[in-house]
């Protein structure tokens, strides 16, 4: 986010139309983090979580994930799912500390397996990505 600042909350709303969007703002109402999620296979799938590094290590990411979990509970969903990089030092451990666990694709609904495959960037070894879930 720091290289390409988000201009305002309305921009994020347009960018992620059709998804649920949560935005964390600073005291001047400038976005400093956001989460985007949508229903998928009985879960609320966390498609994007981002916090401006200048505002990192203050609990903003944790609070945004908490809001997504609360929305999943309120909707009666099984939990929250996400995909992330296995080898990025701060991704998997962050989600594990929040109660997410790796779900092997063979033990996951087909729609989550397809989402895992779809979220592998071109030219990236699919083994670098993993599916994680947390029950509500």
Residue 21 belongs to some domain of the structure: yes
Which CATH number belongs to the domain containing residue 68 in this structure?
3.40.630.30
pTM strictly above 0.85? yes
Residue 22 belongs to some domain of the structure: yes
What are the pLDDT tens digits along the chain (136 aa)?
A: 445 566 677 776 777 788 999 999 999 999 999 999 999 999 999 999 999 999 989 999 999 999 999 999 999 999 999 999 999 988 999 999 999 999 999 999 999 999 999 999 999 999 999 999 999 9
Residues near 115 by beta carbon (within 8 Å), at least 6 away in sequence: 40, 45, 81, 83, 131
Residue 4 belongs to some domain of the structure: no
> What is residue 78's DSSP assignment?
S
Put residue 99 in one of left, alpha, beta given phi > 0 → left and psi -120 to 50 → alpha.
Answer: left
Name the domain count of the chain.
1
Determine the structural domain holding residue 44 and report its residue range. 9-135
């Amino acid at each position: 986010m720091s290289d390409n600042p988000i201009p305002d909350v309305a921009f994020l709303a347009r960018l992620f139309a059709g998804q649920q969007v949560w935005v964390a703002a600073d005291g001047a109402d400038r976005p400093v983090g956001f989460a985007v999620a949508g229903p998928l296979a009985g879960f609320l799938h966390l498609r994007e979580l981002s916090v401006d590094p200048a505002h990192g290590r203050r609990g903003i990411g944790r609070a945004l994930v908490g809001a997504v979990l609360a929305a999943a509970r309120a909707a009666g969903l099984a939990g929250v799912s996400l995909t992330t990089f296995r080898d990025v030092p701060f991704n998997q451990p962050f989600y594990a500390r929040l109660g997410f666990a790796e779900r092997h694709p063979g033990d996951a609904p087909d729609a989550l397996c397809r989402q895992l495959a779809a979220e592998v960037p071109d030219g990236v070894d699919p083994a670098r990505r993993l599916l994680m879930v947390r029950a509500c």
